[in-house]
Chain A
Amino acid sequence: MALVEARGLTKVFRRPQKDPGLRGALKHLVQRRFKDFRAVDGIDLSIEAGEAVAYVGPNGAGKSTTIKLLTGILVPTKGTVAVDGHQPHVERIVNARNIGVLFGQRTQLWWDLPVRESLALLRDMYSLSPTFYKQRLERLDDVLGLGELMPVLARKLSLGQRMRADLAAALLHQPKIVYLDEPTIGLDISVKDRVRQFLRELRADGTTLMLTTHDLGDIEDVCERIVIIDEGRKIFDGPLKEMKDQFARVRRMHLQLASSVPLAQVAAVLPETEVAQGDGPHSVTITFDRFTHTAGQIVSAVLQVTEVGELHLDEPAIEDVVRKVYAGELLRESV
């Protein structure tokens, strides 16, 4: 069985329906109306041990809610979750020892205590032995540079320092699976790189990762599998490469032609594609659907017109795909 198994996972929030203003608020007191809101709607998900899964979707798609359901913070309205065979919200404490959680927007450090104290409190909660704790801190210090942060009060940390300390807090007990909800949010590029480097090392140690992010760099650097959700439903689940193949149909080829040829002449031999002037004087950019044309076909068609010097094919960018999802295009296509 997979490490994480979710079946038909659904969370419905009941939201009060109020008219705007004080008048609306008063009316609601007398006549209560509610509307159901499905934040997560029948999601099936299984994650094998050692996998790194990117969980992606626009704001409000239900990413954080899913994480909260998988970690046992929220009780599912419908459906089941099992993490290492335990139901998170029922066997909360057993499950807590297996998981590490980071909410990038919030800290779990005690606000008025030095980082060292927070980590020591966590050591006690997880009942870690002194030797294990020491080893773990040394390991985390290597990759996160904790040493300088230890005596600092949590409220005095910069965002980057806080994230490093929070990562240490989430990973102190060496959890089997780590859920990271936007672990690089608001960080500058160098700290981001450091965090990603750390996540790659975690993977190398065999830790299972699930991360939600809007930062596509996080995904390409760390994950092989991507799950896309929108409006609480899963719309893609598979290897990153497959996602590109499936959704990134449009490709772009840049050609450096031997001689100056009118664009119309090139376009004439390539129906159903888009031919545009490239950057240089003799260059053209051809945009084509890879389901109707292969790159080879494009090149041989152009060769009928003129010699080709250089050519360069743009790899489908994950950005393009995700942007389409965010714009709501894929949802309509796939349903």
Chain B
Amino acid sequence: MRVYFRILGAHLRSTLEYEADFAIMVVAGLLFQLLNLVFLSAIFAQVPHINGWTYAECVLVAGMYGIIAGLSPLFFEGMWSISWRINKGELDYPLIRPAPVAAQVIGSRIGLHGVGDLIVGGSMAGWAVTQVSVSWTPLTVAIGLLLFVSAAAIHLSFVTIFNLASFWIPGPHPFLAITMHNIEDMVRYPLTIYGQGLRLAFTVLVPFAFVTFFPLVWLLGKPFAWAGLLTPVVALWSVWLARFTFRRGLLRYESSGH
């Protein structure tokens, strides 16, 4: 952890050297999230609610995803470099240093557009929380935080797992991870709007449903609220799977040249 934060900090400083880049990336993050909000508002201008989800509740879903999706470039961007690292043999040096390879890889980049995502996502969620009907007790807050942390862990674990596919599918670009990342964008909206097949796939196959939907189902007291409490279990499984995949991947690592 210490190594990870040291590397990340050093990269933050070096990235901040390029002030224009920083501004552009933050604005890009802001615009992307705002665009999404505009889209959501346009729909609700026509209908009062979607499948029992009100405007505020939908904003909460989108906001929560905005926050989680914003944490990922800020703290996890390096994972997206793994496919070119595998392709170019750039895991050689991390492998000969006495620190976890994952920490070195993850810390090696910082995506400041996450700041924009965080600001807009945070504002959306902040506003929505005051609008939805939840009876807040210390317990609700505690469980809510646990579910949020678990949801973020699930998201980051699957970013990792899909990027690690490059150990098995050679090539310099993380095509699977990019595809899955785009698919995950669907959790911006309440899962109920999708067909049964998709819902099942998102719950069992790739548990994206636990990134926003189930935790909020629990918070808002919707049908199947109990399922939200499974989020920490799913998170443990996801983290284990990511670690396992990383270990197996490193055993297959072939470096470059010979």
A121 CA to B93 CA in the complex, in Å?
13
- A125: chain B residues at CB < 8 Å are 3, 97-99
Q: Quick one: given A72-B95, A75-B251, A126-B98, are A121 and B258 in contact (CB under 8 Å)?
A: no
CA distance A93 to B98 in the complex (A): 4
In the assembled complex, B173 has its CB within 8 A of some CB on chain A: no
Contact residues in A for B92 (Cβ distance below 8 Å): 68, 73, 101, 103, 106
Contact A101 B96 (CB under 8 A): yes
- Contact residues of A: prevailing secondary structure: mixed
**Chain B residue with Cβ nearest A72:** B95
With beta carbons under 8 angstroms apart, the residue of A39, A68, A110, A122 that contacts B97 is A122
A237: interface (CB < 8 Å): no
A62 in the interface (beta carbon within 8 A):
yes
What residues on A are CB-neighbors of B89 within 8 Å? 106
> Is B14 interfacial (CB-CB < 8 Å)?
yes
Interchain CB contact under 8 A, A73 and B2: no
Contacts of B96 in A (CB 8 A): 71-73, 96, 99, 101
User: Complex formed: what's the CA distance from A106 to B88 in Å?
Assistant: 11
Is A73 a contact of B255 with CB atoms below 8 Å?
Answer: yes
Asked if A74 contacts B14 (CB within 8 A), the reply is no
Check: A97 CB closer than 8 A to any chain B CB: yes
**Cβ B258 vs Cβ A64 within 8 A:** yes
Q: A110-B10, A117-B10 are in contact. Are A65 and B98 (CB under 8 A)?
A: no
Contact assessment for A112 and B97 in the assembled complex, using a CB-CB cutoff below 8 Å: no
Is residue A132 within 8 Å, beta carbon to beta carbon, of the partner chain? Answer: no
Q: A96-B97, A112-B14, A125-B98 are in contact. Are A74 and B3 (CB under 8 A)?
A: no
Q: Give A residues with C-beta under 8 Å from B.
A: 13, 39, 60, 62, 64-65, 68, 71-75, 89, 92-94, 96-97, 99, 101, 103, 106, 108, 110, 112-113, 117, 120-122, 124-126
B positions within 8 Å CB-CB of A: 2-3, 6-7, 10-11, 14-15, 89-93, 95-99, 108, 251, 253-255, 257-258
Q: A62-B258, A93-B99, A103-B92 are in contact. List 12 more A-B contacts (CB 8 A).
A: A39-B258, A64-B258, A92-B95, A94-B98, A97-B98, A99-B96, A101-B92, A101-B93, A108-B93, A113-B11, A117-B14, A121-B3
